[in-house]
Amino acid sequence: MSFECLKADKRRTTLLRHWTEWMREADRWYCRYVEEVGESPFDFHEVAAVGFLSAAAARAGFLTLNEYQLYKRSQNDFRKWVPGRADLWMLKDGTSYSFEFKRAWYRATLGNLRRTMETVRGDIKAVPPDECHYAAGGVIAFVKDAERASKYEEFSNSSDVDVAYRIGPQNGGGAFLFFSIKS
């Protein structure tokens, strides 16, 4: 296992405690999945990746729901509300979280990681303010090639990222999860 919190805002104590419990379980579950199945759950598509993260959160004691319907602000006109879906909602100890996720390219560069985070930030801004205590955009970066890990580590330290974790096998096949918390 390679669980590591790469970046965190220490002022968000409840959020960090909850997310660390979630990511530790995601790391355990991820390593088991790779060992038994031989593939990463992040090597498929966004819905499968979010489903895996939802299962890990449930294993860590969260109440979860993924791909649920809600009314969001229109991306074209923030004054309008339109039907849509959110990727993941979680609740633990009375604190709720809503997430919008995107998967990074396999051979991501700093530029396309920033653009992916920018897109997910736009998605999370559309979530209604009364939907949760914390809303966050997340970028899931599956690392097929271990030598590419330094690019993802560098991105974790950028101003685009509020919280970052590494999970899964260390020598290729692991993943980075980058979060931007809606202010």
- Pairwise CA distance, residues 44 & 126, whole Å: 26
Q: Write the pLDDT tens digit of every residue in 104-115.
A: 987 788 999 999
**Cα first-last separation, the chain:** 32
Which of 110, 107, 116, 105 is closest to 139 using CA atoms? 116
Full domain range(s) for residue 115:
4-181
Give yes or no for a contact between 104 and 155, defined as CB atoms under 8 angstroms apart.
Answer: no
Q: For residue 155, give both structure tokens.
A: 């991105």
pTM for the model: 0.93
The reported pLDDT for the residue numbered 1 is 56
Q: Write the pLDDT tens digit of every residue in 22-46.
A: 999 999 999 999 999 999 999 888 9
- Pairwise CA distance, residues 158 & 155, whole Å: 5
The reported pLDDT for the residue numbered 147 is 79
Residue 147: other Cβ atoms inside 10 A? 8
Give yes or no for a contact between 99 and 87, defined as CB atoms under 8 angstroms apart.
Answer: yes
Helix (H) or strand (E) holding 63: strand 63-73
- Domain count of the chain? 1
Token pair 């096998």 is found at 169
Tell me the average confidence (pLDDT) per consecutive run of 10 residues in the chain, 183 residues long: 87 94 96 92 91 97 93 76 86 97 87 94 90 95 84 94 93 90 86
Between the alpha carbon of residue 31 and those of residues 34, 37, 49, the distances in Å are: 5, 10, 14
